Structure 1
Amino acid sequence: MAKKQPRAVERPASLPAEVEERPERPADPRAADHAKVVDLAMKRWRRADPADRENRDNAYADLEFLEVPGAQWGEDAKRARADRPCLEFNRLPTTIAQITGDIRQMRPAIKVVPVDSRGDPDTADVIAGMVRYIENRSDAASAYFSAADQQVACGIGHWKVTTEYGSDSTFEQEIRITHVPDGIGVRWDPDAVLPTREDARFCFVPVDMSREVFEETYPDKPAAEIGDGVLHQQGLSEWSTADTVRVCEYWTKTPVKKTLALMPDGEILDLTDKTDLQAYDERFERAQVAGARIEVREGHKVERYIISATDVLEGPTPWPGRFIPVVPVIGIEMQVGKRRYRRGVVRLAKDPQRAYNYARSTQIEVVALQPKAPFTGTATMFKGYEAVWETANTVNHPFLPYNPDPMAAGAAPQRVPPPVPSAGLAELTRDASEDMKAVTGVYDASLGARSNETSGKAIKARQQEGDVGSFVYIVNFSRAIRHTGSIVVDLIPHIYDTARTLRIVGEDGKVDLVSINQPEGLADDDVAERIQNDVTVGAYDVAMEMGPSYTTRREAALDGMIQLVQAAPQLAPMILDLLAKAQDWPMADKIAKRIRTMLPPQIQAEEAQESGEPPPAPPPPSPQEQAAMAQQQRQQQLEEGRQQLDLAKLGLEKDKLQADVMKIQAELQKAHIDAEARAIEASRPPEPQAAAAPAASTAAPATDPRLDAITEAVQQLGAVVSMILEEMAPPEAPPPGPDGLPGADPQIPGDMPTIPTEAPQGAFSFDPSAMGLPAAPEMMG
């Protein structure tokens, strides 16, 4: 298709006076620098534009073939067929929708992991939630899927990452992911070789504006000043036409020398920027005092310009990250010698689609041109019965009369057989359909066609088998998402560098509030403050998790848990709360929370520890446990009553023994008095009548036999009292056994506890010496 040549813009011969006398704009001191920027940009454009022009033209042709009606028949084919039908049976959108549908269902999830000692796993989870929040706030899914549609159809699509203020009344910035409408028109550095183009030194994102919109957007840059003739001579005629002006977002990545200081605690200070000398001196002095390791490294600075073909409209604007924030998502790309070829699904499916259109159009044409008359006969046969025969195909006549024709002896009107389709055209149609499936890799099973499979697993296996041929698009899409995560994670420390509260989105889609960069007290050294969720320190990397979406995985987990419960019913009480939580019912979370209170205490304690909650209170005892506890209390009370009764009996025995001892003491006292009386009587001088018997008066007085019996009785009673006191004394606690419980004395046969041999303090004691009696060694003191 011939390109439309740009039309020169005609200027009026004379201008109004107020325009002629318009004062000239003051010279911009940055004009010289801008001229150098534009000159370098146009040199890079003239190198990048032809390097990828073939792929770009083929991609535009693929989109036209897919979406523009009539584009599947070339102009030459239409002229050759003249008035013959040129029908289109476009089967490619369904095939492409199958692949992009898999991408929508298997969108990769961005995971953030720390990669150095200053990175914190909890902060990494917060950053991952912030990335999901940025995607949700930006409606990034629309940008992702718009680029995926172009990726699968023609081989390439783009989206980009930008920054903006949260509102017109705040100084806090936000990160946004937005789409690039013309993803095919992006020009990259032709020397970049990585699929993500992160090694590119420049990138152009062109936008064609109407002249009216351009002059409204940039009123101090009139479109008339863009020299159309000069641009045409320089090969830049597309930058300015009669109706449009091209404005380009021009990204540069320039090598610079960076001075970095590695602090003893692992922090890295950037000493490159000297625009603020006071801040630079403070950072440098801090690094010197701490004994930091200072080195000069090779680095890059990223800048953004908005340019036309002749001037810088905006910029330069420094970009805080280290990547050019434009993300390509590529279909299939191959390097053939020095040339790089890129394609999507449509490229190889064009010829099968054209063959299918030709076969179907010809088939319909052949059938349409066959005669439609149901009966044939001579004019004489139908003469007079025209009304009956004209309605034979609409009215159920009982008979169809006709006139015998002498010229056709014995002949009657004959029914014409229906149109017969061409077997060759039918075979051509089938072959074209199969060729289309073969070149796209998407077969009937992947498109939902029924086959001889009956089980769900067999049907799913057939569908997945067909998805293998198109899995390359899903992998490349995942790579682009990962690069987007790297760009966003690299930007977060620069954009979210103040203390604020953000909404983060969990993997399950739930929104939580979290505070970042919030001081929460002094650190261990009592000098620096501890910062909660400090996203400005530490290095983090992005890892991808390929697979179905969270909803799909939750459904798969639900099916797996149901099968597990059916196979092992005894496990149901242990996972019933998880089974309820995986449901889509209203209040499923509340039901799961109530079921969790019925779990064993060990599992409840583990769940509380994982979630950081206090341990749950012990559950109330069951009726059986309450009955057992009551029975145990009754047994204990009976045992205590029995012990108290035994103690009371021992007390009575003690009182009785004390009375007997007192009685014996009284008898001993009386015996002592009698002995003293006899001694006094014996010591008196004898009377005269007793002189006749001197030998009898000098002899020793005889011992009273009652005294010996009483002494022996007292000794026996003392031994009985000692035994009773030993029984009444509380037993000492035996030493602990190997399990920490009181053990038994191994020297006592029968493992009986030992009994103390001394009476407790305050017990009854008897001392015969206090009464002048001989002491018995068996008696207790």
Structure 2
Amino acid sequence: MARTPKRRAPRPAPDAIMLPEAAPEPKAAPEKDAGKSDLAAVHATALKRWRRADEADRENRTEAYADLEFLEVPGAQWTKEAKDSRADRPCLEFNRLPTTIAQITGDIRQMRPAVKVVPVDSRGDPETADVIAGMVRYVENRSDAASAYFAGADQQVACGIGHWRVETEYGSDSTFEQEIRISPVADGVGVRWDPDARLPTREDARFCFVPVDMSRDVFEETYPEATPTQLGDADLNEGGLSEWATHDTVRVAEYWLKRPVKKTLALMPDGEILDLTDKSDADHAERLARAQAVNARIERRDGHQVERYLITATEVLEGPTAWPGRFIPIIPAVGIEMQIGRRRLRRGVIRMAKDAQRAYNYARSTQTEVVALQPKAPFIGTEKQFKGYEHVWETANTENHPFLPFNADPNAPIAVPQRVQPPVASAGLAELTREAAEDMKAVTGVYDASLGARSNETSGKAIQARQREGDVGSFVYIVNFSRSIRHTGSVVVDLIPHVYDTARTIRVVGEDGKVDRVQINEVTGLADEGDPLDKIRNDVTVGAYDVAMEMGPSYTTRREAALDGMLQLVAAAPNLAPMILDLLAKAQDWPMADKIAARIRAMLPPQIQAMEAQESGEAPPPPMPPSPQEQAAMAQQERQQQIEAGRQQLDMEKLNVEREKLQADVLKIQAEIEKAHIDAQARIVEANRPQVPGMDGGIIASDPRIEAIGAAVAQLSDVVSMLMEEMSGAVPPIAQDGPPMAEPPPPALPEMMTSEPPPGGFSFDPAALGQPAPDLMGF
């Protein structure tokens, strides 16, 4: 029996979600007001896991924080020892790394990810998959996911790891309908993952910590019943948790975990899978009855339930809160990660470029010190030359005097005071500066061409090829970022059946950024004997869907490339312009381009309009009335056809007259032949009659000419019959439509009228008899 679709009840708030049964013994999950002993056990397990995760990733985390400081904090590119050794000497910073980071993250920003949703089982629907993909794009648009993505990408490229998260919230404070949001994680480096997780997306992790350091005032206002962790607690120092409390802050951590559960699943004959785990669900009894009625296959499977706690170093503040999806909704974006034995090392661009940047700073600082900090070149002369004008010459390097007076001294080696040679820059320092700059390019993989610097390339294609070649060295970050976006899409698609589980109108975003309104989980169809038909339109709560990923230019960039390609195609083949002019207008970026394209599309040939309607699933457009020019052409063609039909009719009349004349001639010939035949028979009878004795002449026993004449008469009769048959079959039909028929050729004489007889026929050749041809008409 078909299932009866109905409007589903709204999903309860996160803190009211009932947890499924736990393994191995089914029992109710703890509520928020669970006993202190249970929460104490959860807290103890959480701190134990924290210490293990913190110790396993401490080296990477320390280096990552140092990388970010090296990149952003002024003065961090000089070590304390280097500063102390230089004393009062300059320690300048010429930070070239932000431009390198911006080049890689700029490529990530340009290659906008596109989430594709495809069904993976028999209950998935391609149209519903398109709706789900539009919902994912709407979630990204609504929550400004780009800011979360790019904040995580900045940390991923700089220090090796960044994070963002997926969360749910109510659409407003006056509704029960929830929405999905993608939010950034401010301190992406501080997230602690299960050290046993091996996948780059960490989707196989059993737990995760997201710490947040709150000021004590905010903590006390938010959690007035909680006891803030005090600085110097012995338990914190002994447990390695001293960083959880400072004079001004208290650390609060989200503790995500996957709790093992036993799930009860029923496989229906039509492939539908029913979850019978939660017995407290209102629809549990109905689903169980359906499964038992059709003898469905019921099994218990190992699974997990994602839960969230909020903890401090001393207690559990919130939890457990069940998460409806099967993934921990924290998404990492990893830079370059390498496993060396038991150690897992992770880095970004800054890690290997530190020494090159320090060498560049040292070279430029020393070069500046040598050139700029040297005193200005003094004047050389005798004491007598400057006597009396000391106040003028003392300010010669600081003031612009109109003239410099001096005393003539005949004993001076030079007659006029002169400047000393100015200091010369060190060639070694200049070379060191250039080498340090080149080292940074080689280490980061970003060269001048990637940064837009001019080289020996002259054409646009050559410049783009050089830029793409430079991007290859940093493409690993783009690939890892794409993988994280794909996992984000999987998390959102996994949440959609739980969040959007009622019949409602939602907004979806197309690939071109257009926002539409769509009905989901909508019951359609007519009632059948009191029972509604089992048909739900855009049912996002059934079926399994997977996420595919496309990384490439944004829709605007692709549209500009398509416009450029169409313009080149029209320039190469102008005859194709009328067939693609509507697409060319639609690709423009000025106002009312869509309306102009629609009007041009209405003028396309009917074949193209029918093809477009078939692809879009619309009804074919009605036929357009012919234009005056087309009407005149059609009338002219009709008149021409009438003239041709009249000419053919006249020709047929002439042919009929000729045929009747020929038939009369044939009848005349037949009469003459018949007469000749009778005369020949009379001659033969007369010749064979017995002669009366005494009469002159002898009996003509036989005359070969008479036999030849008889044979000729018989052959001529056959010829006449064949000629009549040819005449009867030579009349062509009159053409009613189409082009005029060619005039039929006159009927050819049969071969028997020629010297060559047909196979097996008699050759009427008088020369063969050795006599002249007999006159058949008057012999």
Same fold (TM over 0.5): yes
In the TM superposition, 1:154-233 aligns within 5 A as: 154-223=159-228, 228-233=233-238
The one-letter amino acid of 1:335's match is Q
Using the alignment, how far apart are the partners of 2:182 and 2:614 within structure 1?
A: 37
Using the alignment, how far apart are the partners of 1:537 and 1:470 within structure 2?
A: 41
- Residues 1:351 and 2:359 aligned together: no
CA deviations 1:677-710 (Å, max 9, x no partner) are: xxxxxxxxxxxxxxxxxxxxxxxxxxxxxxxxxx
Using the alignment, how far apart are the partners of 1:238 and 1:419 within structure 2?
A: 54
CA deviations 1:256-281 (Å, max 9, x no partner) are: 221111111211100111124x6322
CA pair 505-28 structure 1, distance change in 2 beyond 3 A: closer
1:524, CA displacement in angstroms? 10
- Residues 1:412 and 2:407 aligned together: no
In the TM superposition, 1:581-730 aligns within 5 A as: 581-631=586-636
Q: Is the 8 A contact 1:187 1:203 kept in 2?
A: yes
The one-letter amino acid of 1:507's match is E
> Which residue of 2 is the match for residue 578 of structure 1?
583
Taking CA–CA contacts closer than 8 Å with sequence separation of 6 or more, which of the two structures ends up with the larger relative contact order? 2
SS in 1 for 2:535: strand
Using the alignment, how far apart are the partners of 1:412 and 1:638 within structure 2?
A: 119
SS in 2 for 1:322: coil
Q: Is the 8 A contact 1:107 1:478 kept in 2?
A: no
CA deviations 1:447-484 (Å, max 9, x no partner) are: 11111111111111111111100000000000000000
CA deviations 1:541-568 (Å, max 9, x no partner) are: 0000121111111111111111111222
SS in 2 for 1:133: helix
Higher mean C-alpha deviation, range 223-232 or range 204-213 = 223-232
> Which residue of 2 is the match for residue 472 of structure 1?
476
Q: Is the 8 A contact 1:186 1:203 kept in 2?
A: yes
SS in 2 for 1:529: coil
> Which residue of 2 is the match for residue 360 of structure 1?
364
1:436, CA displacement in angstroms? 0.5
Q: Is the 8 A contact 2:231 2:247 kept in 1?
A: no
> Which residue of 2 is the match for residue 489 of structure 1?
493
CA pair 497-749 structure 1, distance change in 2 beyond 3 A: farther
CA deviations 1:485-540 (Å, max 9, x no partner) are: 00000000010000111111111111111110111115999764311111011110
Matched positions, count: 632
| Aligned with residue 513 of structure 1, among 500, 510, 517 | 517
CA pair 401-214 structure 1, distance change in 2 beyond 3 A: closer
CA pair 572-632 structure 1, distance change in 2 beyond 3 A: closer
Using the alignment, how far apart are the partners of 1:530 and 1:417 within structure 2?
A: 95
> Which residue of 2 is the match for residue 290 of structure 1?
294
The one-letter amino acid of 1:218's match is Y
CA pair 43-534 structure 1, distance change in 2 beyond 3 A: same
CA deviations 1:346-395 (Å, max 9, x no partner) are: 11111000000000000000002333136332232234556876569976
1:38, CA displacement in angstroms? 0.3
- Residues 1:268 and 2:273 aligned together: yes
Q: Is the 8 A contact 2:71 2:350 kept in 1?
A: yes
| Aligned with residue 38 of structure 2, among 33, 40, 50 | 33
The one-letter amino acid of 1:493's match is P
> Which residue of 2 is the match for residue 108 of structure 1?
113
Q: Is the 8 A contact 1:522 1:530 kept in 2?
A: no
Q: Is the 8 A contact 2:230 2:245 kept in 1?
A: no
Q: Is the 8 A contact 1:304 1:319 kept in 2?
A: yes
> Which residue of 2 is the match for residue 718 of structure 1?
none
* CA-atom RMSD in angstroms: 3.2
CA pair 289-454 structure 1, distance change in 2 beyond 3 A: same
> Which residue of 2 is the match for residue 321 of structure 1?
325
CA pair 410-90 structure 1, distance change in 2 beyond 3 A: closer
The one-letter amino acid of 1:610's match is E
The one-letter amino acid of 1:577's match is D
CA pair 88-227 structure 1, distance change in 2 beyond 3 A: closer
> Which residue of 1 is the match for residue 57 of structure 2?
52
**Structure 1: runs of 5+ lacking an equivalent:** 1-26, 643-733, 751-781
Using the alignment, how far apart are the partners of 2:510 and 2:318 within structure 1?
A: 38
Using the alignment, how far apart are the partners of 2:535 and 2:627 within structure 1?
A: 48
Using the alignment, how far apart are the partners of 1:43 and 1:346 within structure 2?
A: 33
Q: Is the 8 A contact 2:229 2:250 kept in 1?
A: no
Using the alignment, how far apart are the partners of 1:32 and 1:69 within structure 2?
A: 49
**Structure 2: runs of 5+ lacking an equivalent:** 1-31, 648-732, 749-779
Using the alignment, how far apart are the partners of 1:405 and 1:517 within structure 2?
A: 108
Q: Is the 8 A contact 2:75 2:93 kept in 1?
A: yes
SS in 1 for 2:313: coil
The one-letter amino acid of 2:570's match is V
Using the alignment, how far apart are the partners of 1:598 and 1:417 within structure 2?
A: 83
- Residues 1:444 and 2:433 aligned together: no
Q: Is the 8 A contact 1:522 1:529 kept in 2?
A: no
Using the alignment, how far apart are the partners of 1:417 and 1:248 within structure 2?
A: 67
1:396, CA displacement in angstroms? 9.0
1:300, CA displacement in angstroms? 1.2
CA deviations 1:129-183 (Å, max 9, x no partner) are: 0000000011111100000000000000000100010000000011111011000
The one-letter amino acid of 1:514's match is V
In the TM superposition, 1:57-72 aligns within 5 A as: 57-72=62-77
Q: Is the 8 A contact 2:337 2:344 kept in 1?
A: yes
The one-letter amino acid of 1:265's match is D
SS in 1 for 2:567: helix
1:285, CA displacement in angstroms? 1.3
| Aligned with residue 437 of structure 2, among 418, 433, 439 | 433
Q: Is the 8 A contact 1:115 1:539 kept in 2?
A: yes
Q: Is the 8 A contact 1:523 1:530 kept in 2?
A: no
Higher mean C-alpha deviation, range 583-592 or range 340-349 = 583-592
SS in 2 for 1:412: coil
Q: Is the 8 A contact 1:226 1:309 kept in 2?
A: no
The one-letter amino acid of 1:328's match is P
Q: Is the 8 A contact 1:404 1:410 kept in 2?
A: no
- Residues 1:370 and 2:374 aligned together: yes
CA deviations 1:101-154 (Å, max 9, x no partner) are: 000001221100011111111110100000000000111111000000000000
Using the alignment, how far apart are the partners of 1:636 and 1:93 within structure 2?
A: 81
- Residues 1:279 and 2:258 aligned together: no
CA pair 392-623 structure 1, distance change in 2 beyond 3 A: same
> Which residue of 2 is the match for residue 148 of structure 1?
153
Using the alignment, how far apart are the partners of 1:639 and 1:346 within structure 2?
A: 88
Q: Is the 8 A contact 2:377 2:422 kept in 1?
A: no
Higher mean C-alpha deviation, range 150-159 or range 259-268 = 259-268
> Which residue of 2 is the match for residue 119 of structure 1?
124
- Residues 1:498 and 2:502 aligned together: yes
Using the alignment, how far apart are the partners of 1:56 and 1:182 within structure 2?
A: 11
Q: Is the 8 A contact 1:123 1:535 kept in 2?
A: yes
CA deviations 1:211-250 (Å, max 9, x no partner) are: 2211111111131689822121111112223322111110
Q: Is the 8 A contact 2:525 2:532 kept in 1?
A: no
Using the alignment, how far apart are the partners of 1:80 and 1:749 within structure 2?
A: 123
> Which residue of 2 is the match for residue 652 of structure 1?
none
| Aligned with residue 312 of structure 2, among 308, 315, 319 | 308
CA pair 640-335 structure 1, distance change in 2 beyond 3 A: closer
1:628, CA displacement in angstroms? 2.4
- Residues 1:557 and 2:568 aligned together: no
